[in-house]
Homo-oligomer: A and B are copies of this chain.
Amino acid sequence: MKVLVTGAAGMLGRKFCQELAAKGVIAGRKVESLAMVDIVDSPPIESPFATHSIAADLGAPGVAEQLVADHPDIVLHTAAVVSGEAEADFDKGYRINVDGTRYLFEAIRKANNRPRVVFTSSIAVFGAPFPETIGDEFFSTPLTSYGSQKAIGELLLADYTRKGFLDGIGIRLPTICVRPGKPNRAASSFFSGIIREPLNGQEAVLPVSDTVRHWLASPRAAVRFFFRAAEIDGALVGDRRNLSMPGLSATVGEMIESLERCAGPDRVKLIRREPDPTIMRIVEGWARNLDASRARGLGFEAETNFDAIVRAHIEDAGITV
């Protein structure tokens, strides 16, 4: 299998590449090569197959054609401008998240080998007001440019799949938590920060109230989603190619209680409450709970309690508590 990953230097793209290197197989077949694409060079990884890094701007015309010239069997498209940045820079968001995605799909169409394309969408395609639990047939009325761009990507993915130009599966990721590393420009960044920073002995800013409820999954779950989306039989999915991924619904207060259970009360004291009206307004428009029945029925699985997410992060980050 030849695998192409866009956004390979990003947190999830990189975790997927590392897991692919560890497994050596995807969709039941041996991996032959991995192309890691990002706007910057992706750091090398140790693997039993050939890898190469390509630094390229997907939003520039003509770039995508080169990426798919060797006919990858599986394309994982995670490259994107994140929510906070897409909201601040309207043009950049559309250039990367819409034009970049369309260029990629067009290049794949022209390469004419119909690979499985796993597109990372987001629960940001949903916008308030919505029912307490969002069902699989609820409409997309995003309240951010990022969500609008992801919803457009979903429509393109489904139409290109229907026309036989590619074989797409779109997965609407929950907010991924706990993200390792530094805060990013996603408005959701604090959901990871309030766990990650205290575990590192650092102060974390909480810009919303403890009662905010949100839909979450771990980086490990996201990587499992990618592998499942890469292997699943398209016939089981049918025409509706975009799936809300499973996750767990937790309030900020419940997340902090988990942190205390897993790492003690001193860590919790490192969380400083500093309400930010802009982030509060964005987060108010976000999904709180989803009924991801379709995805669960198709074999996608996530954590069912937040303690498991905190413990996975403690383990992955090699933290002593």
Contact = CB atoms under 8 A, between A and B. Distances in A.
Interface of A: 90, 127, 137-143, 145, 148, 151-152, 155-156, 158-159, 162-163, 239-240
Given A139-B137, A239-B141, A240-B141, A158 B148 contact: yes
A116 B265 CA distance: 55
Contacts of A159: 142, 145, 148
A117 B58 CA distance: 31
Given A137-B138, A139-B140, A155-B142, A163 B239 contact: no
Given A90-B163, A139-B140, A145-B159, 7 more contacts: A141-B158, A141-B240, A143-B239, A148-B158, A151-B155, A152-B156, A155-B155
Given A152-B152, A155-B152, A156-B148, A138 B141 contact: no
Contacts of A163: 90, 145
A173 B251 CA distance: 41
24 contacts: A90-B163, A127-B239, A137-B138, A137-B139, A138-B139, A140-B140, A140-B155, A141-B158, A141-B239, A141-B240, A142-B155, A142-B158, A143-B162, A143-B239, A145-B163, A148-B155, A148-B156, A148-B158, A148-B159, A151-B155, A152-B152, A152-B155, A152-B156, A155-B155
Identical subunits present? 2
A299 B159 CA distance: 34
A286 to B, nearest CB: 14
A141 B125 CA distance: 14
A285 to B, nearest CB: 9
Contacts of A152: 152, 155-156
A143 B163 CA distance: 10
